[in-house]
Amino acid sequence: MEWPLSNPDLSIHNTVPKLFWYNVEHYGSEITAWWKQKGLWESITWKQYGDWSRDIANALLNAGIKRGDKVSILSQTRFEWVVVDLAIMSIGGVTAPIYHSNTEDQVHYIAEHSGSKLVFAEDQEQLDKLLEIWDKLPEIKQIIVFDKYQPKDIPNVTSLSIFREEGIQYGKENPDHFIDKISKGSPEDLISFIYTSGTTGHPKAGMINSRNVLAIVKHLKTMYNMTREDMSIAYLPLAHIAERDLGHFMKLYIGNVTVFAESLEDMPANLRQTGPTVMFGTPRVFEKFYAQIATGIKDATWIQKTLYNWSLKVGRLFVEAKDAGKSPSPFLWIKHKIAHFLIFRKIHDIFGGRIRFMISGAAPISPNIVHFFHWIGLDIYEVYGMTETTGVISANNMGQIKIGSVGQIFPDTEVKIAEDGEILCRGPQNIQGYYGNEDATAELLIKDENGIEWLYTGDVGHIDEDGYLFITDRKKDLIITASGKNVAPQNIENLLKTSPYVSQAMVYGDKKPYLTALVTLDEDEIAKFARDRKILYQDLGDLTKKKEIIDLIHHEISTLNRELASYETIKKFYIPEEDFNQDKDELTPTMKVRRKVVTERYKNILENLYQT
């Protein structure tokens, strides 16, 4: 198949909507996405994508949405999300995403803070949240529901299909309005808010423009050798910058196909069904797969365990030779082929069998997990960035991976390390600031003595002699023990979460003689452990008090402690009766622990761990 052009000219197609319409015009008959309808996978062409987005855009114009107006999307990741997002941006509107897992109070905060005039809601559950708070949101004039929705005498609530019909009619009566809006778009126009995780308070609205987005996506093709024939899978929240970049914006430049998973829970099954070539995940996603594999091996026969351990050793020797620039011996090549046939290909099949590489971001990942997948032939490239840098500052990429680092500095980007170790960034991906928060913007973007503006990341790290960036921890999270040792809690927490039985971990010990931790249980894995050992229990809370479970977690922590310096080891721990919960404000929507909230909630328990 011959493509008209290798890539669009970004000096012409210089906004996200223009880039989208380039694909619609040049590749209209080609498949752009797959989604599941009534149990069957259905394909969508660029033309269908464009028609739908144009109709929704016209409906927004008909509803009175003007350039600069804010529109919220409250939904899980699904194809309608990206259709609506492009419709909003195409007419000069600003998308204000809301995590589908947000509580009513959190939804109210973002809808009010953004000043949204209209909200797209996924289903009845999300609509119910909005109806509870609508009287406190006078700016919102209308709610449109994605799922098939039968209006029940609720004024200004309608279905997406009816809303689209209104747009089709408006387009017939005003054929030039939509095209005029796109043509007037500028790279500097605000296109979206991305709300931060809010680990230390209310989330802040990072202001993203097309210049920021294009600065990221234009380099991904070369870095990862991606083509229009690649297929990625979208399943993480599109309200987060990582999935927005890799599951949405990236394809507008590369043109690759996207599979929209039915849900986060269904993603593993959808992976096997569709066979993507590229996959992005947060560390927690890869931790869950790693735990699944580890548990499977524990239940295997003696022969299966022996073959697995032999294959893993072969895989390690094979990649170590290649990483050192050496050619593996013919005998090692043969053993590697056998290991792949017996073990590795079965693990590859868990991911659909066609994965070329995977990308991890949004939080630090344990090097142990990256090494494991590297040995079995599934490379994970760790990427570092944040909302405020439109997702990327540095990245490991093909042929240039250094496990434990977050890669080399992204093209067109400068990084320097401040005297206190904080990472400072300068580049076209840096956001304009925080919407409606000048004080926070002033703390984020600071000019140096030469008048050059740097973005202060809040992360501490260093750059090695080969130009690879290493992250130590969040500046505000660093623990200084009573003996004066600096400890990075995230590294220890990531190590603890490599245990299949651990869901979340929070290390504690600032100004204390030793470190302690709160460790929550992975309900699926711990329930399986209890069943296998015929432990009777009522619920997860009951399990946390069982001696067998406490001994198990003690054994897991003691084993992992061997990989840490003595002052980094966990001396005591406590298992909460339930996992950390977003509804209780203990987790952000991206599953990061809100340390302040959790510490305050378990303050007495944590302090008791230091009583003799």
Summarize pLDDT for 538-589 with one digit per residue, the tens. Answer: 888 889 999 999 999 999 999 999 998 888 999 999 999 999 988 888 888 7
Q: Strand 357-360 relative to strand 380-384: parallel, antiparallel, unpaired? A: parallel
> Is the pLDDT score of 289 beyond 90?
yes
Cα dihedral sign, 61-66-67-70: negative
Summarize pLDDT for 9-20 with one digit per residue, the tens. Answer: 888 999 999 999
Summarize pLDDT for 167-216 with one digit per residue, the tens. Answer: 999 999 999 999 999 999 999 999 999 998 765 568 899 999 999 999 99
Give the residue extent of every domain in the chain. 16-31+43-209, 283-353+355-474, 479-608
Indicate the CATH number for domain 16-31+43-209.
3.40.50.980
283-353+355-474 adopts what CATH topology? Rossmann fold (3.40.50)
pTM score? 0.87
Fold match between 16-31+43-209 and 283-353+355-474? yes
Task: Pick the most confident of 66-75, 218-227, 363-372, 397-406.
Answer: 66-75
Over residues 153-161, the mean pLDDT reads 91
Query: What tokens were used for 485?
Result: 């040792």
Summarize pLDDT for 472-507 with one digit per residue, the tens. Answer: 888 888 888 888 888 888 889 989 999 999 999 999
Which pLDDT belongs to residue 6? 59
Q: How far apart are CA 509 and CA 515, in angstroms?
A: 5
Which pLDDT belongs to residue 5? 47
Which pLDDT belongs to residue 540? 87
Which pLDDT belongs to residue 2? 39
Cα distances (angstroms) measured from residue 347 to each of 275, 297, 377, 537, 544: 13, 11, 10, 33, 31
Which pLDDT belongs to residue 163? 96
Output DSSP code: residue 249. Answer: I
Query: What tokens were used for 87?
Result: 């419709």
Indicate the CATH number for domain 479-608.
3.30.300.30
Which pLDDT belongs to residue 483? 81
Summarize pLDDT for 408-458 with one digit per residue, the tens. Answer: 999 999 999 999 899 999 999 999 999 999 999 999 999 999 999 999 999
Residue carrying the six token digits 């149990």: 39
Classify residue 197 by burial, with Cβ atoms within 10 Å: 0-12, 13-18, 19+: buried
